[in-house]
Amino acid sequence: MHNRRYSILPRWLSYALFFTFLMTGIAVSSLAYLTASAYWERTTSAAQEIAMVEAAASEMIGSLEPVIVQEFVPTAEALPAAQVTETAVAAEATTVATERVTILVMGIDRRPGEPFVSRTDSMILLSINPVKNTASMLSVPRDLYTDIPGYGRNRINTAFVYGAQNGGPAGGAELAMETVSYNLGVHIDHYVLVDFSAFVKSIDSLGGIDVNVPREIYDPTYPDMGYGYDPFYIAAGNQHLDGLTALKYARTRHVDSDFGRALRQQQVLLAARSKIMNLGFDQMLQSFPQLYQHVSDGIRTDLALNELVTLAATAGSIPSENINTGVLDTTYVSSYTTPQGAQVLIL
């Protein structure tokens, strides 16, 4: 295991993500991921550039001194969610976290019938600081070319696959967390993995979400579940999205880029959070055990159900104006061609 560097980076955890990006096992909610970057041994000037990126990211999300909630302990297998009764959940709903928590939320590119090991389609670093009553969400592009501890340099979305080869989903999540932590100097407490099915079911369980689409989108090569094409269109303006449409809106990228997609993913997560609050946060917490079991086949996390509920209650108490979002875009990354000819992004 490589030594990790620790730096300041805000954390966000949102119940929206819970019912949305995994609901992502969520109550951490959801989604973006994060931000890892290639830090193999580089020249002094490159090191200075990295320092500038980390400083910029900290400023973008907030510069709060991290409080470690719990040291990450690798496990050989995914930890099962705790079975909690409605009564227990109702009691937990009155409990909120008291220390800063950071969670790596990963969306898995997994189709029906496939094993729970695939490249991460999206990565979002969520952090919540109950002392400051703030939360943050940072998305990292999947094509970011990074140093993956023990495996050399590759796209960051391959870290999960490498780790899962011998350790299953938990091993994959561990290596993904280590990759982000090692490259960015950010302590990560927990992880949540969500596949397409869990995402769709989570949004549908809310009765859909409402988003303001900034511009018309037409993606003729949007991939379907059979690796073919399923053309996607959505008009500009206020739109009500069901689970499948929300997934397409969050995943399409051919009309702009991964950066635009990251912004849409954050928009979806925040819309899910807003819907949860409007429906009645406390009431939804009480029905959470049934909902979680409905989507649990598509979720993997090292958080117990009661921990998710506690984090959800904490996230739900944070005002919307105190939620910061950011994307590692062209302000911080640039295009690069690998020796093998692949087009990637580097810090």
Assigned domain for 61 exists: yes
Q: Note whether residue 4 is domain-resident.
A: no
Give CA torsion, residues 17, 20, 21, 23, to 10 deg.
Answer: 70
On average, the pLDDT of the chain sits at 75
Q: What pLDDT shows up at residue 98?
A: 75
Position 171 in a domain: yes
Residue, of 289 and 42, whose pLDDT is higher: 289
Question: Which residue from 322, 330, 343 is spatially nearest to 56, judged by alpha carbons?
Answer: 330
Q: Is residue 29 part of a domain?
A: yes
CA-based end-to-end distance of the chain: 23
Query: For the chain, how many structural domains are there in total?
Result: 1
Return the pLDDT at 67: 29
Average pLDDT over residues 200-216: 94
* pLDDT of 2 higher than 60: no
* Residue 214 included in any domain: no
pLDDT of residue 95: 55
Please write down the HEC assignment for all residues of 181-230. HHHHCCCCCEEEEEEHHHHHHHHHHCCCEEEEECCCEEECCCECCCCCEC
Q: Please check whether residue 118 lies inside any domain of the structure.
A: yes
Q: Could you tell me which residue, 93 or 241, shows the higher pLDDT?
A: 241
Which residue is listed with tokens 């988003």?
211
**pTM for this predicted structure:** 0.71
Which among 215, 216, 194 is positioned nearest to 297, based on CA atoms?
194
Range of the domain at 104: 15-204+277-346
Domain of 152, CATH number, reads: 3.30.420.590
Give the torsion sign (CA, 275, 277, 279, 285): positive
Length of the chain: 347
Residue 260 is assigned to a structural domain of this protein: no
Phi, psi for residue 274 in degrees, rounded to 5: -60, -40
- Kindly compute the dihedral angle of the four CA atoms of residues 148, 152, 158, 162, in this order, to the nearest 10 degrees: -90
> By percentage, how much of the chain surpasses pLDDT 90?
42
pLDDT digits (tens, 9 = 90+) for 263-313: 999 999 999 999 988 888 777 777 777 777 778 888 999 998 888 888 888
| 90-118 confidence digits (pLDDT tens) | 333 345 567 899 999 999 887 667 777 77
In a domain, 248, yes or no: no
Query: Phi and psi dihedrals of 34, rounded to 5?
Result: 100, 170
Mean pLDDT of 194-208: 91
User: 337 versus 89: which is more confidently predicted?
Assistant: 337
Binned at pLDDT 50, 70 and 90, residue 157 comes out as very high
* Cβ-based burial of 153 (10 A; exposed 0-12, middle 13-18, buried ≥19): middle
Residue (of 208, 198, 106, 91) closest to 161 by Cα position: 106
